[in-house]
Structure 1
Amino acid sequence: MKLAVVGSINMDMTVTAERIPLKGETLRADSISRIPGGKGANQAVAMARLGAEVEMFGCVGDDDNGKLLLKNLQGAGVRTDHVRVLEGVPTGLAMITVAENDNTIVVVPGANGKVDQAYVDSISGELGKYDMVVLQHEIPLETVIYTVKMCHEKKIPVVLNPAPAAAVPEEIVDMVTYLTPNEHEAVLIFGEQKDTEDMLRKYPEKLVITQGSRGVVTCLRSGEILRVPARMSEVADTTGAGDTLNGAFCVRICAGDDIRDALVYANTAAGLSTEKFGAQSGMPSAEEVERELGGKIG
């Protein structure tokens, strides 16, 4: 299993509070932490923890955050040979409030905004060495589209996690191998007038919609709507649960699982991740997921 992630590398500044503040309201935080994050980096770490060979592609600044993030990725077993370090550009930053078993996130792109088409051209030869390329929306959308088209031409399977929410052209939906929005993102892509089951049936075993505490849903090629319930968890922090699910799904699809088994595995990994604080620090190992599933992994 060799997976490439083209995406964001952020430092998460996370505060915990009694509840999410209302508009215009000031609350006292209980704690503040600086934690490695970014949807791209999170998914790369999730994959590496689950036993895949992973390389991260993206940009960081030449600041302390950038150095710490590269060291963290390397420590998690993720290759960073082609991550570009930019002079005079700050590393991406995410400001996260965790409260009431949920979170709010504001992202400052920084160096992630410099992951452009020229950068993708410079790594195109490397991407061809991988079994799958994984993308998200925390780098410029035009770069995501450009990368999908390039991978489609090279016949490299692509998973697009369209988060944060942004419209995705229909031609790009057709080109990707898997599209993994949450419910809000699916509405933005396909329109409010579309019924969830209709959306799924149009893209069988391609469109996978995550539904938070209700689990994940897709449509099998037989036309059956497959609903995989979320794992019951003692929730400490939901940050990174979606990234864990996406990473785990990619690993198991690359390992040859069918979509049902891959989603059961991914949901289990995501549930385990919510029981620890922090996005990457809460991500489970392959051994932990296998133990939870009773060793039933293909």
Structure 2
Amino acid sequence: MKAIESKVLDAIRANPLASQQSLADELGLSRESVAGHIMRLTRKGEILGKGYILPAGQTLVVLGGANVDLTGTSADTFRPGDSNPGGVKQGAGGVGRNIAENLARLGNEVVMVTLVGDDSRGRYLIEQAQEAGIQTQAMVRHSEHATSTYLALNNDQGELVGAIADMAIIEQLTPEWLAERMSLLQSAQTLLVEANLPEATLTWLGEQSLNAPLVADAVSATKAVRLKPLLHRLDLLKVNRSEALTLIDEPASSDLSDEQLILRLLACGVTSVLLSLGERGVRYGDSTQQIELPVPHCDMLSDTGAGDALLAGFVHARHHIESVDTQLQFALLCAAMTLEAPQAVNTRLSATAVLQRLTETTQSSALAESES
């Protein structure tokens, strides 16, 4: 930042409601010069727009989808093509929204950037986000499209057997719409995106000079391909095996090892990879190391949202924990707590709760080793 821009920013911090003319008089500049500096500071994310709103220093910005989740769980063995007795519940969901809520419950300052419909479900999502601690000023109501809805069917073990996603509204998260919110994106400490976003939008993001490191969730093998134009810009990519194979143009039958998969993704320009291994746990890799850890013991009710909690937990831990091994343990425990909840996000999730379980897990492991 240039010295004169720093002076303008300091003057705004001292008096956020000052007019451009009063700032000019104070600094000995012309009003036109001050206006130009303010415009450049806004583009850089140092100012968030009207009223010279200044960004908080530790804000995580999540850009993605927000859905109303309708989840039906069979009371007995699921029978395809038949009516299955069970229960149906409504909750707030969407990959981006789930990540945002997990981050907020872990104690982070989080802004969610998304579109919802100007309908009852849209109002429900905004209210739910506010209750969870998510900042909702960038959750915008769209007058022409309905709120996204995700309909999931689970078997009696809580495992997904099929789903339908009505997410047309997310296609309205266009480059043009986001360009108007560039100051918010630039203010982020970390910017998290997901592959439900339109490919044109992800490509556009890859072309921007963003201040924050980019983190991405591949979502599914079908959607993962949308991230290809963004790979060279990603600080962290979370994928499962099928998504990773799609991104490197390998068939699903490929016999590449997990280690080789990560190396191939790193060769595409990704700085670090979080490879979800499902029941086997998770494998992390960067240019210096690869670490694999198993899933901690938990009593699973539903696997919906576990991957979102894994990524949120790891992003949180990277800001607060130095050891990568411990970061992964923290993230896995976030996922385990989500597996134990009937909804996509465990409302009991908190950094304190996770750290307590981490301590208990460490003590149990140490005791088992001493007895062996």
TM-score normalised by length of structure 1:
0.91
Which residue in the other structure is 1:213 paired with? 279
- In the alignment, does 2:254 pair up with 1:199? no
Give the Å deviation of 1:141. Answer: 2.3
Instruction: Measure, in 2, the Cα distance between the counterparts of 1:267 and 1:237.
Output: 15
Q: Is the 8 A contact 2:191 2:214 kept in 1?
A: yes
Which residue in the other structure is 2:220 paired with? 164
Give the secondary structure class of the aligned counterpart of 1:293: helix
- In the alignment, does 2:167 pair up with 1:101? no
C-alpha offsets along residues 73-121 of structure 1, whole Å, 9 cap, x if unaligned? 0110000101211113100000011222311332110322211111210
C-alpha offsets along residues 38-66 of structure 1, whole Å, 9 cap, x if unaligned? 11110000000001100000100001000
Give the Å deviation of 1:295. Answer: 8.1
Instruction: Measure, in 2, the Cα distance between the counterparts of 1:233 and 1:148.
Output: 38
TM-score normalised by length of structure 2:
0.74
Q: Is the 8 A contact 2:150 2:164 kept in 1?
A: yes
Give the Å deviation of 1:187. Answer: 1.3
Instruction: Measure, in 2, the Cα distance between the counterparts of 1:195 and 1:229.
Output: 17
Give the secondary structure class of the aligned counterpart of 1:90: coil
Q: Is the 8 A contact 1:205 1:259 kept in 2?
A: no
Cα RMSD over matched residues? Answer: 2.1
Q: Which stretch has the larger CA shift, 112-121 or 101-110?
A: 101-110
- In the alignment, does 2:323 pair up with 1:266? no
C-alpha offsets along residues 141-196 of structure 1, whole Å, 9 cap, x if unaligned? 2212322432xx22320111011333146552121101111111111111134443
- In the alignment, does 2:106 pair up with 1:50? yes
Amino acid at match of 1:44: A
- In the alignment, does 2:62 pair up with 1:62? no
Runs of 4+ in 1 over 6 A off after TM superposition: none
Counterparts of residues 1-298 of structure 1 (less than 5 Å): 1-17=58-74, 18-22=76-80, 25-99=81-155, 100-103=157-160, 104-150=162-208, 153-165=209-221, 166=223, 167-168=225-226, 170-190=228-248, 191-192=250-251, 193=254, 194-202=256-264, 203=266, 206-222=272-288, 224-255=289-320, 257-281=322-346, 284-294=349-359
Change (3 A) 1:283 1:94: farther
Change (3 A) 1:7 1:170: closer
Q: Which stretch has the larger CA shift, 97-106 or 268-277?
A: 97-106
Amino acid at match of 1:280: V
Instruction: Measure, in 1, the Cα distance between the counterparts of 2:188 and 2:361.
Output: 27
Indicate the structure with greater helix content.
Answer: 2
Amino acid at match of 1:289: V
Instruction: Measure, in 2, the Cα distance between the counterparts of 1:9 and 1:186.
Output: 24
Instruction: Measure, in 2, the Cα distance between the counterparts of 1:116 and 1:154.
Output: 17
Bigger radius of gyration? 2
Give the secondary structure class of the aligned counterpart of 2:283: strand
Instruction: Measure, in 2, the Cα distance between the counterparts of 1:96 and 1:207.
Output: 28
Instruction: Measure, in 1, the Cα distance between the counterparts of 2:260 and 2:231.
Output: 15
Give the secondary structure class of the aligned counterpart of 1:155: coil
Q: Is the 8 A contact 2:198 2:226 kept in 1?
A: no
Give the secondary structure class of the aligned counterpart of 1:14: strand
Change (3 A) 1:169 1:110: closer
Instruction: Measure, in 1, the Cα distance between the counterparts of 2:77 and 2:354.
Output: 30
Q: Which stretch has the larger CA shift, 73-82 or 286-295?
A: 286-295
Unaligned 5+ segments in structure 1 are none
Give the secondary structure class of the aligned counterpart of 1:8: coil
Change (3 A) 1:172 1:13: same
Unaligned 5+ segments in structure 2 are 1-57, 363-372
Q: What is the number of residues matched between the two proteins? A: 292
User: Which structure is richer in relative contact order (CA contacts within 8 A, separation 6 or more)?
Assistant: 1
